[in-house]
Amino acid sequence: MLELKNITFSVTAEESSDNGAMRTIIDDISYVFKKGNFYAITGPNGSGKTTLTRLIMGINQVTSGAINFEGKDISKLSITDRARAGISYSFQQPARFKGTTFRDLLSIASGSDDENKLVQIIARCGICSLDFLDKPIDSKLSGGEIKKIELATTIARNPKLAIYDEPDTGIDLWTIDPMVKLLKTEQEKNDTTTIVISHNRAFLEAADSLLFIENGKIAYSGNMDGALTILNDLSVCHYRGTYDVEGYSGGYR
């Protein structure tokens, strides 16, 4: 349903820190995401994980190559058109607004301001408190709260393709498993193709396929078992270790 064909993304001199030189962030990636599957993307910091998903959403445009979504090349489409085509995106650091509430965002996302419908969506996302709806999306929200809101606005789109960039950042350890279950349920019930960028073992284990990105390339793609060697070899994780409170993300950073 989503095919990346030789996509490359380079930044120009002024955006690059290497004073003058072009820098390639995504280097000739080709990959096919199958409908209804759950993908986890992991890899070292700065490897290009977020950039790759931003290219899919259209936040950045590919320098070369094509992105085919349901058989159509979307690589020149705007963010809006890609959203309307069925792609939805959860940001790692969600935007904060002055004067915009969760209700506003959810209404835009779902295309309805019907109270019952909104309540159904938040219940589906495991948000029990109705007070939450009228919370302003401003700097007063905690990191965990805003991530839950971000997740809900993504799910409210009923997307064909849902992309989550580190949904567990700022979420307490005890909420991660329910979050994985939520994304799995959405995937299974609605046949949502799901891509999650994460360093957390819970997400990696939940995935049908895992992509390990390094230096702008896919260094590995396949199942979790095959990935263990590469993850350990690259010393990016302590996968065998158990959770500790501070390093709750499981260590894949």
The torsion angles phi and psi of 219, rounded to 5 degrees, stand at -80, -25
Strand order through the sheet with 161-165 = 87-90, 161-165, 193-197, 38-42, 209-214, 217-222
Candidates 52, 74, 77, 105: give the one binding other proteins (CB under 8 A).
105
C-alpha to C-alpha distance for 144 and 138, rounded to whole angstroms: 13
Candidates 53, 75, 88, 194: give the one binding other proteins (CB under 8 A).
88
Candidates 13, 21, 32, 95: give the one binding other proteins (CB under 8 A).
95
C-alpha to C-alpha distance for 250 and 253, rounded to whole angstroms: 8
Please tell me whether residue 99 binds other proteins under the rule CB under 8 A.
yes
Instruction: Find the shortest distance in angstroms from Cβ 157 to other proteins.
Output: 7
Q: How many residues bind other proteins (CB under 8 A)?
A: 26
Separation in Å, CA 214 to CA 10, 41, 68: 15, 11, 23
Written as one letter, the residue type at 235 is: S
Please, which of residues 145-184 interact with other proteins by CB under 8 A?
153, 157
Please, which of residues 56-75 interact with other proteins by CB under 8 A?
57, 59
Contacts of 217-226 with C-beta under 8 Å, sequence gap 24+, read 217/27, 217/28, 217/29, 218/29, 218/31, 219/43, 221/31
Candidates 64, 93, 223, 232: give the one binding other proteins (CB under 8 A).
93
Instruction: Find the shortest distance in angstroms from Cβ 101 to other proteins.
Output: 8
DSSP-based three-state secondary structure for 68:
strand
Instruction: Find the shortest distance in angstroms from Cβ 143 to other proteins.
Output: 15
Stretch that binds other proteins, among 69-77, 84-92, 121-129, 205-213 (CB under 8 A): 84-92
Token code pair at residue 50: 């977020």
Binding site residues, other proteins, CB under 8 A: 57, 59, 78-80, 83-84, 88-89, 91, 93-101, 104-105, 108-109, 111, 153, 157
